[in-house]
Amino acid sequence: MQVNELVTDLYHHMEWADASAWATVLRHDTARHDGLIRGTLHHIHLVQQAFLAVWQGDPIDRHAGEGLEAAALAAWARPYYARARAHVAASAGPALDTPLTVPWSGQIAAHLGFEPGPTTLGETMVQVYAHTGHHRGQVLSRLRALDVTPPLVDYIAWLWQRRPPAAWT
């Protein structure tokens, strides 16, 4: 499997897993109205869209999606996945090794305690997948704390199910 094929596969999984998490959130009033879940989901999708904007040379709207209630936030987030997969598919081979400066990396240098090193387009694509999975795990943990059974969204579970498409509600 080529690198961009793997990243495309991961992005299909990411959408399926995010849609599964959203479906669970939207089915339960306590989850749908939980500020921590809403804030984390907003952060996930804002970061996804910010990276896509960087990849495409578009301006970043740091306030996009603010104030949306859960269903509207899910609807706002959904179009990202097809756009991101299209960009990943168009970024085959050497393009993935293109150096990429993340515009906000300098802003967090003080927090990190060091100057961020160089990254590539491909590495930032993997970062989006990993970052999303990390924060999705926080959402799923919060669901459990609210006595809501979270969906099983592991990559291997998606593979075992023969890579189902995302089921947005």
Q: pLDDT tens-digit profile of 63-120? A: 999 999 999 999 999 999 999 999 998 997 888 999 999 999 888 888 888 989 999 9
pLDDT tens for 25-58 read 999 999 999 999 999 999 999 999 999 999 999 9
Q: What is the pLDDT of residue 93?
A: 82
pTM of the model: 0.95
Question: CB neighbours of 2 closer than 8 A, spacing ≥ 6?
Answer: 92, 93
Would you say residue 134 has pLDDT above 90? yes
